[in-house]
Amino acid sequence: MPSFLHTADWQIGRQYGRFASDDAVALAEARFSCVERIAALASEWQVDAVLVAGDVFDAQTVSDRIIRRLFNALQAYAGPWLLLPGNHDAALVESVWSRAVRLQAVPDNVHLLLRPEVHRFPAAGFAVLPAPLTQRQTNRDLTDWFDSADTPAALLRIGLAHGSVQGILAADIDSPNPIAAGRAEQARLDYLALGDWHGLKQVDARTWYSGTPEQERFKANGAGQVLKVEIPGPGAAVQVSAHEVGGYQWQQWQRDIQLASDIDQCIADLDALPDTSVLDLALRGTTDLSGLQRLQQALSVAAGRFRSLACHWGELTLAPSAEDLVSLQADGYLAEVVEQLQQRQAGPDAEVAREALMILATLMRDHAPAGSKTCN
């Protein structure tokens, strides 16, 4: 049975400027490693081709070294790689693709689908109809030509496109690079492999977005996978299965803290995450000094274990308990300062006030007379 791997939106050369430099480098490297895993799967499963539905590169300006590294990453699979230009790497007159050809970096088994023309693979039993973008944005449906394209009846008709299927986005959003809903049926396609949508999405029985194989956003949209597509023959039902290939798992959490048990649960959740996590955590609510210290300790441990951890404390208020104040021996002027800082946590300087209160509490605890400290 003919089978394929469908993937898209590799965006090789992507930069991660909002992350710390070591995390940014690791996340960029992960995209090469992910392609290598796709190549290994393609070889292991002996698929007939790997379909890459656009945005192989993140930009036209990636370095020659990145171009060479990308094509080196394909080496584990000797079958056909079918690479389609997307909006990030459109087939301009002078493009990342023309540079790759000039560098002689493109292996013989890699097919650059730079023009809208049928590519036949009779020995493997399929023909490919590509809709390459030749500019970053267009308001014309580049898959129109699929309907009238002639292919041998014995070959599967596989479409490859990069853009937005009409009717999926909200009605008031005018999306560029449109693709007609129902194109697979209109063009008698056995399968239409799409890119541009970074999450996994089925459009109809024969049309899928594979999503980016290496997650790069805090969205629970099925990213981080590759699709295995099996088609018994022309006109037969398509069998599609998703397989994890991503190296990092991106998660965005919001945790409400009111009770000690909320902190216990947050710490347990952190402990359960894999080391390959990229976590964005927002904390809100109220905690006392001992609770805040527990959170800080747990997050410090997690930050050393995860690929990246960003914690937002802005909506978490520090409210020292009566026991905290007794243990800190906060009275007189210090008690007034503590009270003022507590009140300021409700204003525009909340984060500064909370940090100041934490620093003051720590200093007071560290300089308390012997025997006055409590164990937490």
- Residue boundaries of the structural domains of the chain: 3-244, 249-366
- DSSP letter, residue 167: T
Classify 3-244 by CATH class: alpha beta
The alpha helices in 254-331, defined as continuous H runs, are: 260-272, 289-305, 322-328
List the one residue out of 49, 50, 53 whose CA is nearest residue 133. Answer: 53
Q: Could you tell me how far CA 125 lies from the centroid of its own chain?
A: 33
The token pair at 269 is 């959740």
Beta-bridge partner residues of 243: 226
Closest to 64 in 3D by CA, of 93, 98, 33: 98
| 374 pLDDT tier (thresholds 50, 70, 90) | very low
The secondary structure of residue 12, as a DSSP letter, is B
Q: How far apart are CA 126 and CA 150, in angstroms?
A: 13
The chain-wide mean pLDDT, for the chain, equals 90
Whole-structure pTM value: 0.86
Three-class DSSP category at 244: strand
Q: What is the mean pLDDT of residues 241-262?
A: 96
Give me the mean pLDDT over the 19-45 stretch.
97
High-pLDDT (> 90) share of the chain, %: 76
Mean pLDDT of the region 342-352: 75
Please check the confidence at residue 105 and state whether its pLDDT lies above 50: yes
pLDDT digits (tens, 9 = 90+) for 66-81: 999 999 999 999 999 9
How many CB atoms sit inside 10 A of residue 4's CB? 28
Q: Please give the C-alpha separations between residue 222 and each of 100, 181, 232, in angstroms, as whole numbers.
A: 31, 22, 26
Do the bridges between strand 119-121 and strand 191-195 make them parallel or antiparallel, or are there none, so unpaired? Answer: unpaired
Which of the four pLDDT bands, split at 50, 70 and 90, describes residue 333? low
Percent helix, strand and coil across the chain, each to the nearest 5: 30, 25, 45
Looking at beta carbons, which pairs linking 182-187 to residues 24 or more positions away fall under 8 Å?
183/141, 183/143, 183/146, 183/159, 183/207, 184/159, 186/146, 186/147, 187/129, 187/143, 187/146, 187/147, 187/149, 187/157, 187/159
Which pLDDT belongs to residue 372? Answer: 30
CA 221 to chain centre: 9
Amino acid at position 239, single letter: Q
In angstroms, the CA 45 to CA 77 distance is: 10
Give the Cα separation of 188 and 289 in Å (integer): 66
